Amino acid sequence: MDWRFLPMIDVPTLLLSDVAKAAQIDLGLLRQWVSRGNLPLSQKDRQEGLRVVTIRTGYIIAIAARLVEHGIAISRAATAAWAAADDWEEKDLYLVLYTTEERQDRKPNPTEARVSLYPDTESLTKAVLEGDTVQTVVNCRKIIEDFDANRLSFPQGSVA
């Protein structure tokens, strides 16, 4: 399936509470991330009153949540997840988050994330073996499939 042509991917149709269930994270924690600006929503998401988000934002939240499970700060996880947002393809998509170099001449940036995306295990393996220090790797396609399976397995709030 080509996710770019999923008709409703960028239409706000999901309640934030449904996204939390599908992404398997606590709703209070998700609200905290959003309200503090650690996990910014897109301009297409309804941010006032009843929060309703797009499926794309749901995927991003799920990917960011998995990165947080790997010990990544939510601000960095969100930056990395948004970087992957336009590159979903039919094949697996591996998101690699590299360690950032600590430099004494500047303050650390909590949202800084060095990210690369790889469409298959062969290119991922080659990249990992060639150099930079990898902090974590996640399979975006698997996270998206799990999110969709969870999302479709329970009754959702009605927005439309």
Instruction: Please give the full DSSP string across 34-95, using - where no structure is assigned.
Output: HHTTSSPPPTTSB-SSS-EE-HHHHHHHHHHHHHHHTT--HHHHHHHHHHHTT---SS--EE
- Is 41 within 8 Å of 134 (Cβ atoms)? no
In a domain, 38, yes or no: yes
- If phi over 0 gives left and psi between -120 and 50 gives alpha, with beta otherwise, what is residue 143? alpha
In a domain, 158, yes or no: no
Give the number of other Cβ atoms within 10 Å of residue 110's Cβ: 12
Q: What is the pTM of this model?
A: 0.81
pLDDT of residue 146: 93
pLDDT of residue 147: 93
In a domain, 159, yes or no: no
In a domain, 1, yes or no: no
In a domain, 2, yes or no: no
In a domain, 104, yes or no: yes
Q: How far apart are CA 31 and CA 33, in angstroms?
A: 5
Overall number of domains in the chain: 1
Q: What angle do CA 44, 45, 47 make, to 5 degrees?
A: 130
CA distances from 14 to 54, 75, 84, 127 (A): 6, 22, 20, 36
In a domain, 157, yes or no: no
Give the tokens for residue 147: 């999110």
pLDDT of residue 112: 64
The parent domain of residue 37 ranges over 7-152
pLDDT of residue 111: 56
pLDDT of residue 64: 94
Per-residue pLDDT of the chain (160 residues; tens, 9 = 90+): 455 556 678 888 899 999 999 999 999 999 999 999 999 998 888 866 678 999 999 999 999 999 999 888 899 889 889 888 766 655 678 888 877 665 555 555 655 667 788 888 888 888 888 766 787 888 988 998 899 999 888 776 644 4
